[in-house]
Amino acid sequence: MSNYILYPIVELKGFIILSVIFLFFCTALVLFFMGRAKAGMEAFRWQALFLGRTRREIIWMSMGISQIAFVVSTVCFFVPMGTVQITALALLCVMKGILGLSLGGFIGELVFGGLTGTALMAGNLLMDYMKETGVDVYILLIWAMLSLFVIQYGIYFFIKGLERMLQQHERAKQRQEQRKKLKAEK
């Protein structure tokens, strides 16, 4: 029974290690900059991204960062895309899609997961080909470019989703302020 629990953990060890390192690095970075910051809100700059967010939005951002960490760990640790990795990527995409609270966001996450998983599997095929036939410079370059593209696409997709989420947050905030003004006028 313990093998069924430990096997997925061992399969995702690169993702877990990279996530923990990223968490500690980002926490130290935030604490360092907040300790050096001047008084006032303008001193927070990018740290203000996390201020005033709902729980759903913070969890959505965490899932997005986890997706990026998953893709980077899969590429950097040369992890083959097996059942455990595909399931982990699918779960991250589905959870992030559900948290987006829109059908378009959910479908976008499924497309992102499908494209990312397919690209990572293609990278695995290239790595297996090089293991069997020897390292060819052109195949290695194709693998490197594919890996960089997948990482870049993951970051871009996260940033665009973050932009949509922030716009939705601002629109909801404006609607709430308008309702307060209407109530105050009555």
Place of tokens 């991204």: 49
Phi, psi at 51, each rounded to 5°: -85, 135
Radius of gyration of the chain (CA): 20
CB atoms within 10 A of CB 154: 22
Residues in the chain: 186
Alpha carbons 160 and 163: distance in angstroms, whole number: 5
pLDDT of residue 62: 85
pLDDT of residue 43: 57
Alpha carbons 141 and 146: distance in angstroms, whole number: 8
Query: What is the separation of C-alpha 5 from the centre of its chain, rounded to a whole number of angstroms?
Result: 24
pLDDT of residue 138: 93
Q: The pTM is what?
A: 0.79
Per-residue pLDDT 10s for the chain (186 aa) are 567 767 777 778 888 888 888 877 877 776 676 665 555 555 556 666 666 778 888 888 888 888 999 999 899 888 888 888 899 999 999 999 898 777 888 898 999 999 999 999 999 999 999 999 988 899 999 999 999 999 999 999 999 988 888 888 888 888 888 888 888 887
Query: What does the block give as tokens for 166?
Result: 């922030």
pLDDT of residue 49: 66
pLDDT of residue 152: 95
Residue type, 73: S
pLDDT of residue 114: 94
Helix (H, G, I), strand (E, B) or coil at 81: coil
pLDDT of residue 143: 94
